[in-house]
A and B are shown apart, each in its own frame.
Chain A
C-alpha cells in the first residue's frame, strides 16, 4: 500500500467513526422519548379504562342528561384510537396533533359531566364514584408529569438533530422532526379540575 492509500484509509475510518457516533447519539435520544411515551401510554390506557366505569356508575343516577354521558364515551373512544396510533409512532406530528385535540375534546366532555354532578348530590357522594374520581385525578396528574418528561426528551432530540452537521446526517438516515405532546390549556391538565375535597 502506498502512503496515499493509507492516508485515505485512515481518513475514511475517522469519518465512519464520527458518523456512527452521531447516528448513535440520535438513536439514543429517540429511544429516550419513545420510552417516555410508553409511560404516558400506560397512564392514558388506565384513564380510558376508568372513564367507562365512571359513566356506568353515573348512569344509575343520571336520567335526563344522557347525551352528556354519551359525549364522554364518544370522546373517550376517539382519544383511545388516537392514542393507539400515537403509541405506534411517538413523536409523529400528525399522530400527536390528533391525540392532543381528541384529549382536549375528552377534557371538555368530562368537564360538562363534572358540572352535571352538582345537580346529583347522591352520585357525587357515591363511594365508587368518589374512588373513580380520585383515581382519574391521579391518573391525569401522572399523565401531565410524564408528558413533561416526554416533551423535554423530544426537545433534546430535536435540538440535537437540528445542529450542523447532524442535520445532514438526520436527513440521510431519516431522523425526522418529533412533535411534543402539548395540550393548549392554561391549567396544563388534560381534564378540567376534578371536584375533589
Chain B
C-alpha cells in the first residue's frame, strides 16, 4: 500500500468512526425516550384513584420530543461549554506543558536546525510557520501540535528529540505534527471531547435528580435520575472507545502525510524505531489531558490498554511506513542517563 492509499484508508475509517459517534448520541436519545415512556407509564399505573391501568403506548410523539430535545440540549450545551473552555490557542497549551518559545534566529545549533526543519515542513505542507516550543525538561522523544486553527498553531518538541534524533528523523516527526495541523485533527479532537463532556453532563444531571428526590418514595424523577446516570456512563464508555479509535486513525493518517511531505519514509521510520528504543513518556503534570496530541504515546499503559490507546502500536506504525522493517528498535545515538530513561518496552507504547 502506498502513502496515498494509507491516507485514504485512515480518512474513510475516521468517517465511519465519526458516524458511530453520532449513532451513539442517537442511541442515547432512544434510551432516554424508552426510559421516559416506562416511567410515564409507571407513574400513570400507580395513580391511587385510577380506574383502569392505561395501555402501554410505545410511541408517544410528545414524550419523544421532550426526551430528544432535553437530551440534545444537555449534550449540545455541555459540548459548547467544554469546547469554549478547551479552545485556547496553541501557545497556551504549549506553555502549560512547560514549553519555552524559540526565536526564529536562535544561535544554538540544534535549535536552529529545529527552526529550519519546521520552516521546511511548513513549505511542504502549505501551512503557515507555527510558534515553536522546546520542552527542556523532557528527555524522551516526543512532539506535539496544539491550537484550534492553522493560524494559531504551536509545535512543541522535547529535548530528547533534539539530542537523540538526526535531521531526517526530526523532519519525519515535524512532518507528522504538520499533518495534524493540515488535516484539522485538532478541531476534530476538540469537538469529540466536547460531545463526550456533554454525555458526562447527562450523568451529572442524573445525579442531581437522584438526590433531589422528595419525601415520596415513588418519585419518578428518582428513576429518571438513575436511568440517566446509567445511560450517561455507558455512553461515555463507548464514546471513549470511539474517540481512541479515531485518534489512532489520525495517527496513521499523520504518519502517511508526513512521508508525503518529506518524501523520505526512512527518516520517520527510523525516528519511530528510536522512540521504541528510548521511550516517549512525557513527565509534565499536564501530559494526561494532552496525551492525544503527542507524536508517540505520552502516557503509560492504560486500564483497557489497546482499546483506549490514543496511538496505534508502534510496530504497526513502522510497518505502515516502512514495510521492510526488521522488527528491531534501536536506541538513540547518544545514550541517555538510565535514571532518566523510561523503560522502552513495546508494551507501554
Name A residues whose Cβ lies closer than 8 Å to a Cβ of B.
127, 130-131, 134-135, 137-138, 141-142, 145-146, 148-149, 188, 196-197
The contact sample of 13 A-B pairs, CB cut-off 8 A, is A127-B109, A130-B109, A131-B112, A134-B109, A134-B112, A138-B119, A138-B120, A142-B119, A142-B120, A142-B123, A149-B126, A196-B113, A197-B167
Minimum CB–CB distance from B182 to chain A (whole Å) comes to 14
Chain A residues, Cβ within 8 Å of B119: 138, 142
Choose among B112, B123, B171, B263 the residue that contacts A146 (Cβ–Cβ < 8 A).
Answer: B123
- List the B side residues contacting A131 at CB < 8 Å: 109, 112
A149–B113 CA distance with the chains assembled, in angstroms:
23
| B-chain residues with CB within 8 Å of residue A188 when the two chains form the complex | 263
| B96 touches A (CB below 8 Å) | no
A134 lies within 8 A of B113 (CB): yes
Cβ contact within 8 Å between B120 and A141: yes
Taken together as a complex, chains A and B put the C-alpha atoms of A137 and B112 apart, in Å, by 12
Q: Which residues of B contact A142 (CB under 8 A)?
A: 119-120, 123
Q: Which residues of A contact B166 (CB under 8 A)?
A: 196-197
CB < 8 Å neighbour of B117 from A130, A138, A146, A148: A138
Not counting A137-B116, A138-B117, a sample of 19 additional A-B residue pairs whose C-beta atoms are within 8 angstroms of each other reads: A131-B109, A131-B112, A134-B116, A135-B112, A135-B116, A138-B113, A138-B119, A141-B120, A141-B171, A142-B119, A145-B120, A145-B123, A145-B124, A148-B124, A149-B123, A196-B113, A196-B167, A197-B166, A197-B167
Q: CB distance B167 to A137 under 8 Å?
A: yes
What is the distance, in angstroms, from A33's C-beta to the closest C-beta of chain B?
A: 15
**CB-based nearest A residue for B107:** A131
B116 partner residues in chain A, CB cutoff 8 A: 134-135, 137-138
